Amino acid sequence: MRRFKKIIKWFILSIISVLIIAVIILGITGVPKPSTISKEDVPRIKWSLAVDMYKLINKSVKNTRFNSWTNNDNGILIWSNTGGMRSKLHRISEPDSKPVLIDKLPDNARDITVNPAPDKHYMIFSMDEGGNEQYQLYRYDISEENYTRITDGRSRHLSGCFNKEGTFFTYSSNKRNGVDFDIYTIDPENPSLEIMICKGKGSWSAGQWSHNSDQIILRYDVSANESSICLFNLNTLERRDLFPEKSGTVYYGDAVWGVNDNVIYYISDYNSEFKQLHMLNLITGMDTVLTADINWDVEDLEISQDARWLALRVNEDGLVKLYIINCGTNDIQLVPSVPSGTVGYMKFHPLKNILAFNHTSTFSLTNVFVLNLNTLQLTEWTNKPGADESLPLPQTVHYPTFDMADGKQREISAYILRSPARFEEPGPVLIDIHGGPESQASPVMNHIHEIARNKGVNIIIPNVRGSSGYGKGFLKLDNGYLRENSVKDIGALLDWIESQPDFNSEHIAVFGGSYGGYMVLATSVNYSDRLRCGIDLFGITNFTTFLENTSDYRRDLRRAEYGDERIPEMRQYLDSISPLNNSNKINIPLLVYQGKNDPRVPLSESMQIVESIRENGKIVWYLEASNEGHGLTQPLNYIFVGAAALTFLEEYLLN
C-alpha cells in the first residue's frame, strides 16, 4: 500500500511538473499559430492575452439571438451554444426552457427562413465558403435533419421571402452576368421549378408577397442615400414604380403590406432629414407620414400577421428603441419597459399578438424578449450573463469639429468607455473608428475593448460625418470630394482629447476595420505626430485600386459613395488622398490583418500598404487568414488576431 501511495504521489508530481514546464514554454514561445493564419514580422503573442480572448469568446457565444418563431406554435428558434465556441440553432418552447439543438445544420448557416405553412417542415438558409460571400441557398428538412442545395453553386444569392402559402420562395441572384441582380421565384421542394420573374440592372432585392400572392415588393439600391421600391405583378409581369414623381436622391427602406393589398407601409426620407414611416393607399394615392414627431431614423419595421400592429426600431443617437403603432388608430408609443440598450431583429408571432426581439445592452449579451401587444408586458425568454459589470457605464459626448452647421460649431457624437477607477489618470486612449462608411457605432460589448479597458485603456468610439443615424445631410458630408473631412473629424477628436484632464494625449492609438481601416491609415498619414500606433483590419489603402478590384456587383454602389475613378479629375483626387500614395508620412507602428478570400476589400489592398511601409523602413505586423473573407468568423483565428492586437497595444500604446 505504501509503495502504491508513492507511485501515485510520483505520478501527480510528474503531471504538475509537466504542466509547469508547459506553461513556461508557452510563456516563452507565445500562442501557437493556427494553421490558417500566416504572420510576418509579428513577435511572440502573449499567452495570457489569448487566454483572456478565449474566456470572453467562450462566454459571449453563450448569448442567445432570436431567429424566428416556429411554424407550428412550438416556441422560437434561437442562436445559442451548448459547449465550444460556436453558436448553433436551437429551439426553446417557453421562457428559460432548455434549448433543443437543430442538429446537422452547418456552422456557417445564415439568413434562416422558416416556411410559414404548418404542414411544411423545412427552412431555407444561405451559406458561403471561406468567407467569399458567394452565398448559395439550401433547404433544411427538419424531420430528416439534412439539407440540400437549391441554387447553382456558383453565383451570389440573396434570400427573400416565402409566399403566404409557403409554396414559393423569392431571392435575387447575379448569376446572369455576375454584376446585375435579377429576381427569381423557386419551389424549394422542386428546385427545377425556378423562374426569373424580373430582370434587373444593378442591385435589386425581393421583399414581401401580397396577401393574395400575386404581387411582390421589390427594392432597388443605388447607394446608402438613394433607393426605390416598386411592385411586381406576377399575373401581368409588369413592374410598377410607386413614386415616379419623387425625383432626386431619396431613400426607401423596408416596406410591408397593410391589412389588405391596397395599403403599404414603408420607410423613406422623402421631404425629411430623417427616415420616417409612411402609409400609402394604393387606390387613392394618399401618402401619410406617421412618425413626423420623431426626429430620428426609423431603421426598420415589422407588421403583425393580422396587420393590427406595427413594430418600429428607432435609432436615437446610436441606441435603438422599440415603438409600437396601432394600425387601426395610427397611435404610436415608445415601449417603456424595454431596458436601455439596442433593440435588434424582431418578428411577430404568426398567430398571436406578441412580438419577439433581440436586445443588447453594454452589460449583457444579446437576449431574447417577447412583448405582449395587448398589455405591453415584457417577458425575458433568455437571460445570459454579460460583460464585466465592474467597468464604468458608457458615456455619450458631443465634441466640436472644424466646421460650422446652422450657424454654430458642428458637433460629432462619440461614446466613451472608460477604464476602471483603479487606474491612475490621465490614461491612454484607443480610438475605434467604425466601417461602412455609412454604418453607425454603438456602445455594445466588444472583447478587445473589455480586455483593453481592464488594462487601463480608455476607448472612444466616434460617429464621424458620413455615419448613419444623424440625418441624410450628415450621411452625405463625406461623399466624393468631401472624403478627407471625416479624417479631420478625428483630428478634432485629438484636439478634444488634449483638453480632457483624464486622458493622456501622448498615448493614443487608432483602430478600425474595412472603411474604418482606411480611416486608421488616413489618420496615421495626417496625424502620426500625435499617435502611438494603429491597427488596420482589411482596410482600403488606395481608392483607385480598391474600386478596380472589388467584386463586380459592388463597384457601382461604392462609386456612388467614394467617386467614380474612371473620371480623370476624380481619379486624381482619389489618388492624392489614398494612404498608399502617402505612406511615407506614416511614422507609427502598424498592425495589418487581412482575410485572403475578402470579396469587398481584396487581399491586394493590405499587401500593397504592408510592402510600402516596409520599404519606408517602418514597423508593420502583418497577419493573413486563408479561410476568412471580410472579417473574422473562425474562433481560433479570432482569438489569435485579437491576442495579437492586444499584444501590439501593450507594446506600443501602454509601454
Distance of CA 304 to the CA centre of its chain: 26
Give the total residue count for the chain: 655
**Cβ neighbours around 624 below 10 Å, total:** 20
In the prediction, which pLDDT does 86 show? Answer: 74
**b/e for 542-580, b at 16 or more Cβ within 10 A?**
bbbbbbeebbebebbebbbbbbbbeeeebbebbbebbbb
What are the start-end ranges of the H helices in 502-602?
A: 515-527, 543-549, 555-562, 568-577
Would you say the pTM of this structure is higher than 0.85?
yes
Order of strands across the sheet that contains 169-173: 157-162, 169-173, 182-187, 190-198
For 120, residues 6+ apart whose C-beta sits below 8 A from its C-beta are 71, 166
Closest CA to 627 of 582, 597, 584, 648: 597
**pLDDT value, residue 29:** 52
CB 155 within 8 A of CB 182: no
Q: Which pLDDT value is given to residue 20? A: 38
What residue ranges define each of the domains in the chain, with the CATH number in brackets?
51-56+389-654 (3.40.50.1820)
The grid cell for 248 is 432626386
Q: CB atoms < 10 A from the CB of 78, how many?
A: 26
- The whole-number pLDDT of residue 85 equals 64
Candidates 542, 526, 544; CA nearest to 489 is 526
How much is the pLDDT for 388? 65
Q: Which residues of the chain have pLDDT under 70?
A: 1-30, 60-62, 82-85, 246-247, 362-364, 384-389
Amino acid, single-letter form, for residue 72: N
